[in-house]
Amino acid sequence: MTVLFFIPMTVIALYESTSPRNRWLGDFIHGTPLDEDDSPAARDPEVDEEDARNDIVISKVPFSEIVKAFPNIHEVSSSICIQ
């Protein structure tokens, strides 16, 4: 079975990996470029036309307030390390 299915599976894998419709998979694996992550549109995105007319929002809390609630991971308290 290995010999029989090796060639067709290889062709399918090459097709799937180079197909433009699977570009989202490459973006997911490699991540988005850093300049796109830091844009204000990525931090506080706007909704499209119809949802905006219906007053639908993605988040009522701005990104800056959400970040303030995150713990500081650069400083580790000694009590956490001792436990």
Q: Which of 13-17, 27-31, 76-80 shows the lowest per-residue confidence on average (mean pLDDT)?
A: 76-80
pLDDT tier, 3 (very low <50, low <70, confident <90, very high otherwise):
confident
Q: If you write DSSP's letter for every residue of 20-32 in order, what string do you get?
A: GGGHHHHHHHH--
Which among 43, 41, 45 is positioned nearest to 57, based on CA atoms? Answer: 45
3-state DSSP: the chain helix, strand, coil percent, rounded to 5? 65, 0, 35
Give the pLDDT confidence score for residue 11 in this predicted structure.
92
Average pLDDT score over the chain: 75
pLDDT tier, 38 (very low <50, low <70, confident <90, very high otherwise):
low
